[in-house]
Amino acid sequence: MITFWFEFASTYSYIAAERMRTLGEVPPRVVWRPFLLGPILKSMGLETSPFNVWPTKGAYMWRDVERLAGREGLVFRPPQPFPQNGLQAARVATGSAQASWLPDFVCGVYRAQFAQGKNIAEREVLRGVLEDVGADADDALARAEAPETKNALRAATEEAAARGVFGAPSFHVGDELFWGQDRIDDALAWRER
């Protein structure tokens, strides 16, 4: 079983989510798990995205994601600000982990952020995506705020860290970890061993 770990503010997670959906690698075949990369980066001594800490690394990432998006036929525009605050989106995804619309919601949030210039920290943006994917938006937004949802997201982040995740996207196949959208094929191949 593959776990796909993604962070909503992560550009490479956008590419990965779209590819995973296109490949049909969605629940129940693959567990899609949102987590928060911020606390993990903080434990590594980074107060913001590595792409902001190191401008050369950032310049590479913006061009690289543009190229990758082009290959996948996706629009990509650098969001303002970067990184955005993906906490609410992650809570919505966590609270509705079993919903059939989860992959569409995840990709919808990425498109809102990286293609449509919206700020995913805004509740109304998330409501719009939920409505687009046919979810009960009021219900999903209410679940997102439930204490058990907040705890579950915190636990997911702690589990990711404990299992060696230090970046997004990441993939677990059993205990084998693969980091980066460019390792999707390796992760899928590992599952078939």
| 177 near a second copy, rule: CB under 8 A | yes
| 174 near a second copy, rule: CB under 8 A | no
Residue from 31, 39, 62, 64 touching a second copy (CB under 8 A): that is 64
Residues 6+ apart with CB under 8 A from 59: none
Task: Judge contact between 44 and 103, C-beta under 8 A.
Answer: no
- Which segment (6-14, 73-81, 93-101, 174-182) binds a second copy by CB under 8 A? 174-182
| 82 near a second copy, rule: CB under 8 A | no
Instruction: In angstroms, give the least distance from the CB of 1 to a second copy.
Output: 19
Site string (11-50) toward a second copy, x via CB under 8 A: ---------------------------------x------
Instruction: In angstroms, give the least distance from the CB of 68 to a second copy.
Output: 9
Rg of the chain taking only CA atoms, in angstroms: 16
| 179 near a second copy, rule: CB under 8 A | yes
Residue type, 48: T
Residues 6+ apart with CB under 8 A from 50: 41, 57, 58
| 60 near a second copy, rule: CB under 8 A | yes
Identify any residues that bridge with 173 across adjacent strands, giving them in sequence order.
2, 176
Would you state the structure tokens that stand for residue 118, as one six-digit string?
């919206």
Residue from 117, 134, 164, 174 touching a second copy (CB under 8 A): that is 164
In the chain, count of helices (H) and strands (E)?
A: 10, 4
119/141 Cα distance (integer angstroms): 16
Buried b (16+ CB within 10 A) or exposed e, 148-175: ebeebbeebbeebbeeebebbbbbbbee
Residue from 59, 75, 146, 155 touching a second copy (CB under 8 A): that is 59
- Which segment (13-21, 77-85, 130-138, 161-169) binds a second copy by CB under 8 A? 161-169
In the bound state with a second copy, the residue whose beta carbon lies nearer, of 12 and 105, is 12
Is it true that the peptide bond before 27 is cis, omega within 30 degrees of 0? no
- Interface residues with a second copy (CB under 8 A) are 44, 54, 56-57, 59-60, 63-64, 67, 161, 164-166, 176-180, 182-183, 186
